[in-house]
Amino acid sequence: MREEPAGTDDLGVDITIPSVSRMYDHYLGGKDNYAVDREAVAALERRLPGSRVLAHDNRSFLRRVVRTLARDYGIRQFIDHGSGLPTQDNVHQIAQRTDAGARVVYIDNDPIVLAHGRALLEDTRSAVVAADIRDTDTIFASPEVSRLIDLSQPVAMLFVSVMHCLPDASDPAALIRRAMSRVPSGSVMVLNQLVSHHAETRDFVTGFMDHCTRGNWGRVREPAEVAAYFAGYDVLEPGLVEINSWRPDSELCCRPRGGGPWFEYGGAARKP
């Protein structure tokens, strides 16, 4: 059994409160999480079995969409909003398999994510920016974005499994418009989030996560609410879908799970 400090860790993080990024790390089999994160995952899994599968599905979608944008659409620069803890096949590794010169900026405000991310990124083509994803001005004024991102060329703006962390009071739609206004025509927005057709499921997950993270959470939404984020953009095939349906590698490995009580929904769209 791993030993864990009480109260705060050596980065000054309060480890009595579950972290969404550390819960996700645990889902993926990582080691950068604490007992409180594992307990929250177990409690959620008891009420909604299969939540672990959603995390793996989401990671597979990220791999496919980054590979597709680099290989088929010629995108060579990516800004990953709410990147989370490093794991296998990070965005820069996927993109650089297509072009070693591909550049990636990761955005996160979790101290653990920042510490581990900066330790991982040893080359000059990737960087981590300490910022809240809602603070577009800070992100685009950062030296890392200025150094790595050429705003005369298309940029992939990744909002992968992060919008459900933002409450309505943060106006996620305005965030999307603000961020996309900074990048040129031909840039691509990638966005997916947890949704449910069932009000009971939406209310339970939203309430559970809001309580256990002490307010550091947003809302499970309906598919139509997510679709509204894409208004005015040219949605790429196959459209907005349960993410396992987005350009699967094969019918077996990425088969849609039939919606289920909750699922990840979204896609990719090009800025006109």
pLDDT digits (tens, 9 = 90+) for 64-73: 999 999 999 9
Tally of residues, the chain: 272
Indicate the pTM of the whole model: 0.86
Nearest Cα neighbor of 173 from 221, 217, 137 is 221
Class of domain 51-270 as given by CATH? alpha beta
Q: What is the pLDDT of residue 208?
A: 83
Q: What is the pLDDT of residue 251?
A: 56
CA dihedral 141, 143, 147, 153 (to 10 degrees): -10
Sorted by sequence, the CB contacts under 8 Å of residue 39 that are 6+ apart come out as 18
Low-confidence ranges of the chain (pLDDT < 50): 1-6
Q: What is the pLDDT of residue 257?
A: 53
Q: What is the pLDDT of residue 41?
A: 79
Task: Kindly list the domain boundaries of the chain, sorted by start residue.
Answer: 51-270
Cβ burial of 113 (10 Å; 0-12, 13-18, 19+) is buried
Q: What is the pLDDT of residue 7?
A: 55
